[in-house]
Amino acid sequence: MSGNNNNNNRFEGKPHVDTILFIECGFGNDSHGQDATKAAVRACRNAIEFNSIPSITRLVPGGYDELKLDVLLAVP
C-alpha cells in the first residue's frame, strides 16, 4: 500500500475510542505457514500479554472485558 493511497486510510475520520490509555508495539510471525492473519494475532498478543495495568478497572468501566483495541498492522 503506497503512501498516496487514500482508500481505507485509518488516519481519516474519528477513531472508535475516546481516550488512548497506552500504546504498545508487538511482533508476530508465522515462519512455516506464512499466514499473515496468524502473524497479526501473534503480534497483538505479544503487544498486550506482558503488560500490567493494575488500575484498568478504575480507568475503564467494565475492566478488561470492555477494553477496546485499535490495531495498526504493518505487513512486509
Count of Cβ atoms closer than 10 Å to residue 43 Cβ = 19
Q: How are the residues of the chain apportioned to helix, strand and coil, as percentages rounded to the nearest 5? A: 30, 0, 70
Write down the pLDDT at residue 4.
47
Across all residues in the chain, what is the average pLDDT? 76
pLDDT at 1 over 70: no
Give the model's confidence band at 9: pLDDT under 50 very low, under 70 low, under 90 confident, else very high.
Answer: low
Model pTM greater than 0.75? Answer: no
Write down the pLDDT at residue 2.
45
Pick the more confident residue, 74 or 12: 74
What nine digits make up the cell of 52? 500490567
